Amino acid sequence: MVTEYVLRIPLDRHVLSTRRSFTAVIEDIRDAVGGAGAGGQLHSPPSSAGRGLSGRQVNGTPVPAGLIGIGELDIDHALVRGAETSCLLRLLVDMLPASRDLVRFLPDAGASCPVAILVQQAADGGTRLLYDSVASAISIHQDEESLAVARGFDAEVLALLRRVAADDG
């Protein structure tokens, strides 16, 4: 017998817009977390032994250790898109200790990790970054331990995105 139910989950979607070019934004994210090459092949992620700052930098600011690139989906080639959209790339990023703790406290959290960052080239030449918060995705379960871990995960991803989106000049 199969049981099915639907959970309505309100998501907090963070949208950052920047005048920085799509290419510059993608390069900075890849530099910070490692990235997938052509065909989804992963580059070796930067060393992230321990917690704290890793020695990697984006726009001159140290990046927290722990975020690693898991893969990329070039949506331009995977889906048909409208003429007004120039480039779309979905980056999968994880923080393995946080993901491990999240599923230990709340197995359903595995549906939210790794996280996806959508990077969109805007019509004006700038870039938009979209990120759905893990804490909002699991908030319906009201598990305080997993929410604390998810908030830390979200904080690291958002700190990186804010640095990447920051204008150079």
Domain span at 27:
13-40+53-165
User: What pLDDT score does 53 carry?
Assistant: 44
Residue 158 belongs to what H/E stretch? Answer: helix 144-165
Q: What is the CATH number of the domain that holds 35?
A: 3.30.310.70
**What predicted TM-score, i.e. pTM, was given to this entire model?**
0.78
- Residues of the chain with pLDDT > 70, as a percent, come to 73
Q: Which residues of 25-43 are buried (b: 16+ CB within 10 A; e: fewer)?
A: bbebbbebbbbbeeeeeee
Mean pLDDT for the stretch of residues 29-45: 63
In a domain, 69, yes or no: yes
Flag the least confident range among 22-31, 33-42, 76-85, 91-100: 76-85
In a domain, 141, yes or no: yes
Mean pLDDT for the stretch of residues 96-124: 92
What is the torsion angle, in degrees rounded to the nearest 10, for the CA atoms of residue 10, residue 126, residue 114 and residue 134? -30
